Amino acid sequence: MGLTYLEKFRDPSLAKNLVAAIHKESRHPLRLMEVCGTHTMAIFRHGIRNILPETITLLSGPGCPVCVTAQKDIDAFVAVSRQPDVIVTTFGDLMRVPGSGTTLAGQKGAGADVRMVYSVFDAVTIARQNPEKQVVFCAVGFETTIPTIAAAVLMAAKEKVTNFSIYGANKLTPPALAALMTTPGVSIDGFILPGHVSVITGVDAYRSVFETHKVPSVITGFEPIDILHAVLMLVRQNESGVPALENAYPRAVRQSGNPKAREVMHQVFTVCDAAWRGIGLIKNSGMELKPDFKVFDAGARFELNLTDVAEPKGCACGEILMGLKTPVACALYKKVCTPMTPVGPCMVSSEGACAAYYNYG
Amino acid sequence: MNAENNNTILLDHGAGGKASHALFSKMILPLFSNEYLDMGDDGAVYPVPAGRMAFSTDSYVVDPIFFNGGNIGDLAVNGTVNDIAMCGAIPLYISVGLIIEEGLPINDFQEIIKSMATAAGRAGVKIVTGDTKVVPRGKADKIFINTSGVGMIPDGVNVSGSRALPGDKIILSGTMADHGIAILTAREGLTFDGDLKTDSAPLNHMVKTMLSSGCEVHVLRDPTRGGVGTTLNEIASQSGVGMTLFEKDLPIKKQVNGVCELLGFDPLYIANEGKLLAIVPEKQASKVLDLIKADTFGKNAAIIGQVTDQRPGKVFLETAIGGQRLVDMLTGEQLPRIC
Ligand code: SF4
């Protein structure tokens, strides 16, 4: 029996060869950032960190959607759930992220109707089934999820599901990378770029960041072989002194990505500035509803009276997302902040760096 | 109003009057019938052989109540049968407490009772006492079931979560995560290729064979809520030992693994309802494995790891590609209301 598709990308002997090559070729210390939370999780789950040579430090980047959601947005989700006759729908991870007061899970415990969904379309269905209620979807995601959210908004518009709305905190990846590279103190020798996001954006979306900063960059998938392959490519680029923007995930990512998905996304959303947790406002890094679709904006539908709030004291999520610190360097890590009693979102999300350090040690 | 002729469960059915009586005598008793239940007293009176007994209880609130491969009824019987068996005991008698939401279709109720009777028959236990309550609409969700049970521990048997010793082998009796994934896909209406079915099954016969073989068994545990990962963590800290698992040896169905990949779940933390973990001395491991494999519910059993004296209380996984990682206790609810 031949290897199945997935097994091929977990083949121990293939992995061994890649690891051997990395050990052999890596001479200078390198700080490589896996931008995406799914990569962080895969790296820990497959135990990749401890088979790499000491020269290589892996840093977790700003690519865990829950982790980069600003405190104010979390507060907004909570505030929406307090409104009468509202059903709040959300992806699971978001439920337990502490806002300045409580969490969505806390609200649910206190009687609010908060439901976990696997897809934004489930939220539209819930809206259809509960015409007397307002159904709000908490939209946090990157290029991977934004087109689906856009498609759901289009569907709601077409079918006149007027009690459906979204509270948008969507984010774009390339502007965050550009912002990172101009942040003082940040030093990154290579980016492991997210496979799923790139399926939509394509390789071209990273071109301008790459041309400006010349940081070695490799797009890759989430199987161990994909990740090891990307690490080896980044080692080679660094050792040879020739940075490049490469695609190690051609089985899924095309040069121009998925123009159709982007078209849907841009039909509904337009680029705006966005606040990233711990990092601050990044220009042109968010997506908001276009005027034609503003009727689906939960932010406009409800009066939420939100105030700017400081992020929890001592939580180093922001610095961790920028590769300036590792979770163990956070004074609260494991002492005050654990997955049971999370202080910051990085400890809540299964893709968060702090949770990964804690769970997979 | 004539509750008997209606096709849903009504409050009357739990009120202790005529309708309650009819529900019990027409729908429950004929299926559960045995010499102890038939006595019709407030409690069951039954003989017990001399020795030690095991006693266990569990409540079932699974949502949805019907899923691929089973329903809340057989789940509730198998669950308590297995809990008793994991004490090294032979389950004998169980009790059934039903809390029904007004409006439950009678057909659904009957199907659940029928599966409970079948499950009890399959496990060889008797349902000797029980209770039925009906609560108003919205005060429960369709049906909740509590089962409790007792079993006898044969002489010389001594299994406990605190008896794992360095050098012991860890056996898992079949594929991981089947139940949790079946429930999840049923609940979310997700459709995938292939057959995602619960593994809910009685394990008492398997346990009996193992224990009567003369093989020494240190620990038995069924990795239900929290999955294999959480259960092994519990045993590791109870016994004060470390454990190493081998990813390449972990049995899992391809479809189940696929769904986990897709939804970002770690199958090590997903519930099983028809699997056991046996921790046995190394020299008897292959014999115990063969015995488990000979059981209907143990065909895919495998040795998945070993007990060590390294890092007591911690479980590590050697990944297929040669890396190593911690398998910690599950925190929070990965999948709520799965049993
Ligand atoms: S350990 Fe907790 S407090 Fe510290 S950075 Fe991570 S999430 Fe924030």
Strands, E, within chain B: which ranges?
Answer: 52-60, 66-67, 70-71, 90-101, 126-135, 143-153, 169-172, 219-221, 242-246, 277-280, 302-308, 315-318, 324-326
pLDDT interval class at A1 (50, 70, 90): very low
Taken in order A322, A327, A332, A337, the sign of the CA dihedral is positive
Region label for B240, one of left (φ > 0), alpha (ψ between -120 and 50) or beta (otherwise): left
Q: Three-state DSSP class for A205?
A: helix
B318/A contact by beta carbon, under 8 A: yes
**What six digits make up the tokens of B263?**
């939804």
Cis previous bond, B64, omega within 30: yes
A165/B contact by beta carbon, under 8 A: no
pLDDT at A311: 77
Q: How far is B319 from chain A (nearest CA, A)?
A: 6
Fold classification of B169-326 is Phosphoribosyl-aminoimidazole Synthetase; Chain A, domain 2 (3.90.650)
Digit-coded pLDDT (tens) for A328-361:
999 999 999 988 888 988 998 878 899 989 888 7
Q: Which residue's CA is minimally distant from atom 3 of ligand 1? A: A315
B264/A contact by beta carbon, under 8 A: yes
Residues 6 or more apart whose Cβ sits within 8 Å of residue A272: A284, A286, A287, A288
Which residues make beta-bridge pairs with A115? A89
The residue of chain B nearest to residue A339, with distances taken between CA atoms, is B331
- Report d(CA B295, CA B298) in Å as an integer: 5
CATH for A5-38+49-60+181-247, options being 3.40.50.11750, 3.90.1150.10, 3.40.50.720, 3.30.70.100: 3.40.50.11750
Q: Which of B336, B265, B185 is nearest to A351 (CA)?
A: B265
Residues 6 or more apart whose Cβ sits within 8 Å of residue B133: B14, B97, B98, B99, B100
**Cα Dmax for chain B:** 69
Among the atoms of ligand 1, which is closest to the Cα of residue A325?
A: 5
Helix, strand, coil abundance in chain B, percent, nearest 5: 35, 25, 40
- Report d(CA B158, CA A86) in Å as an integer: 55
* Interface contact B322-A360, CB threshold 8 A: no
**What six digits make up the tokens of A91?**
């992806």
Residue found by looking up tokens 């009819």 in the block? B22
The residue of chain B nearest to residue A9, with distances taken between CA atoms, is B321
**What six digits make up the tokens of B264?**
């970002």
Q: Which of B336, B47, B285, B85 is nearest to B204 (CA)?
A: B85
pLDDT at B3: 45
Residue found by looking up tokens 């990085």 in the block? A346
Digit-coded pLDDT (tens) for B197-237:
999 999 999 999 999 999 999 999 999 989 999 999 999 99
Q: Among A203-212, A336-345, B139-148, which is the least confidently predicted range?
A: A336-345
pLDDT at B137: 93
Digit-coded pLDDT (tens) for A167-188:
989 999 999 999 999 999 999 9
Share of chain B above pLDDT 70, in %: 94
pLDDT interval class at A73 (50, 70, 90): very high
- The amino acid sitting at A43 is I
- Report d(CA B133, CA B131) in Å as an integer: 7
Domain A71-170+258-301: give its CATH code.
3.40.50.11740
Ligand 1 pocket, CB under 6 A: A 315-317, 320, 327, 330, 332-333, 337, 343-344, 346-347, 354
pLDDT at B255: 87
Which residues make beta-bridge pairs with A164? A135
| CA A59 to each of CA A189, A243, A323: distance values in angstroms, whole numbers, following the listed order | 11, 19, 5
pLDDT at B138: 92
Q: Which of A168, A82, A77, A89 is nearest to A130 (CA)?
A: A89
Digit-coded pLDDT (tens) for A214-236:
999 999 999 999 999 999 999 99
Residue-averaged pLDDT of chain A: 91
CB B113 within 8 A of CB B23: no
B15/A contact by beta carbon, under 8 A: no
B262/A contact by beta carbon, under 8 A: no
pLDDT surpassing 80 at residue A98: yes
**Cα Dmax for chain A:** 65
Burial class (CB in 10 A: 0-12, 13-18, 19+), A103: buried
Q: Which residue's CA is minimally distant from atom 7 of ligand 1? A: A344
Nearest CB among A38, A48, A339 relative to B323 is that of A48
> With a cut of 0.95, is the ipTM above it?
no
Is the domain spanning B3-153 CATH 3.40.50.1820? The answer is no
- Report d(CA A81, CA B64) in Å as an integer: 25
Query: In this structure, are strands A190-194 and B324-326 parallel, antiparallel, or unpaired?
Result: unpaired
**CATH 3.40.50.11750: which residues of chain A?**
5-38+49-60+181-247
**CATH 3.40.50.11740: which residues of chain A?**
71-170+258-301
pLDDT surpassing 70 at residue B164: yes
